[in-house]
Structure 1
Amino acid sequence: MREHLFTYLEQPSLETFMALRQAALSSEGFDPYSSELDGISALMEAGSWEQVIETISKSLFPNHLLSPGAHMSLGFAYHKLGREKESRFEQVVYTALLDGIKSTGAGTEEQPYHVTRTSDEYDLLMVEELRPTQQALIKKDGRAYDVMTTESGQKVWFDITEIMTLLDRRLGIQPE
């Protein structure tokens, strides 16, 4: 999976991003609903930068490699410790991952964005300065979508079919 990441960073395109995404989704042990980073905000508020780095670094492969927010937090922790080279690298990865998600669609029903984790949806909305007020799961034509309604009433569509399939498998739910 790392080789896919470096290929994407060196040659950013929809094709290399989707290859990276597919590598993550098919990686053994990948869990799009894992919770290893749930306590990161508290660690950051406490200024526990070494622990932030350790916690995120342990969970990057395979669960958070494509999570823009994980890379942003990691980069910030490196910055707080004066490790600017690592901080800049994480900022590059953060930006590239957001660009990759944006390249997958337009956020419309006809062209939804493709994400690897639900947290990616919030990362993208944040960078677009859209504040979500409602989230709905919609199943349509054999696909699953998260539809986020923003304060302005705009609906932003995310195709989560693959991550829902992984969740169903983990829970032992048979496909419909």
Structure 2
Amino acid sequence: MTDDFFDFLEEPTLENFSKARKCVIENENYSPYSDDIKNLERFLQEEAYEEALATNNINLILSPRAHMIKKYAAKQLGNEEAEQAEYFLAHRILEGIQSTGDGSKAQPYKVLRVEDERDFLGFIGETLKMQSLVKEEKTYDLITTESGKSIYFDITECYLKVASFSFEDMMDSLGIEEELKDDSNENSVSIPPKVEKKKWWKFW
């Protein structure tokens, strides 16, 4: 993983980003709905900045949000070098996601975690209005933004990883309330976005 990750950092091509993604997906510890991001956020709540900055695992290495959290932690510690490095990593990964498609159904963006979708929306200046799960040959998150755009994210690898989960477990892992609205498309479930209390370290 290390070589592929650094290849991507040095030469941020779609090919190198795809190799880095593949290494994450094929790792036995990859879990797209893990609590790793929540744990990092808890460190911020507890002002445990050293712990946040030191936390690394396969589920965080290509997470823009993880690196932005670590950037904030580094800033609180007065570690300017680490702050700049984490900011660079976050934006390099967001640029990598952007290279995977154009947001259309034919060329959806590819992500490794549901949080990546929210981070990417902020990166391109959009805000989530409605999220729909679309299951066809591939599995997509279809995001309708406040500006009226429809943006597709390919979450096929994420979905396959948790295929053994029950539907209820998957919805719970996504932090989604039980209230669902059925779309006219039997392969689509429209999900109202969960309203979360704005965190004081919100980045996007």
2:4: which partner in 1?
4
Q: 1:148-175 CA distances to partner (integer Å, 9 max, x unpaired)?
A: 1111121111000111011114x399xx
Structure-2 residue corresponding to 1:79: 75
Q: Does the residue aligned with 2:133 lie in a helix, a strand or coil?
A: strand
SS in 1 for 2:37: coil
Following superposition of structure 1 onto structure 2, how do residues 9-158 of structure 1 map, counting pairs within 5 Å? 9-54=9-54, 57=55, 60-140=56-136, 142-158=137-153
Shift of residue 51, structure 1, vs aligned partner: 3.4
Distance in 1 between residues matched to 2:49 and 2:131, nearest whole Å:
32
Residue 171 of structure 2 is matched in structure 1 by none
User: Between the two proteins, what is the percent identity of the paired residues?
Assistant: 34
2:81 partner SS: helix
Distance apart, 1:45 and its partner CA: 4.4
**2:161 equivalent to 1:160:** no
Identify unmatched segments of 5+ residues in structure 2. Answer: 168-204
Answer yes or no: is the 8 Å Cα contact 2:64–2:116 preserved in 1: yes
Contact 2:142 2:150 in 1 (8 A): yes
Q: Partners in 2 of 1:167 and 1:133 — Cα distance? A: 25
TM-score by length of structure 1 reads: 0.88
- In the superposition, the TM-score normalised over structure 2's length comes to 0.77
More helix by share: 1
Equivalent pairs, count: 167
Gaps of 5+ in 1: none
Structure 2: how far apart are the matches of 1:164 and 1:120?
Answer: 15
Q: After superposition, what is the alpha-carbon deviation per residue over 1:49-98, rounded to whole angstroms, capped at 9, x for unaligned?
A: 223324xx1xx321111100101110111111111111111111111100
The aligned amino acid for 1:61 is N
**Deviating 4+ runs (over 4 angstroms):** none
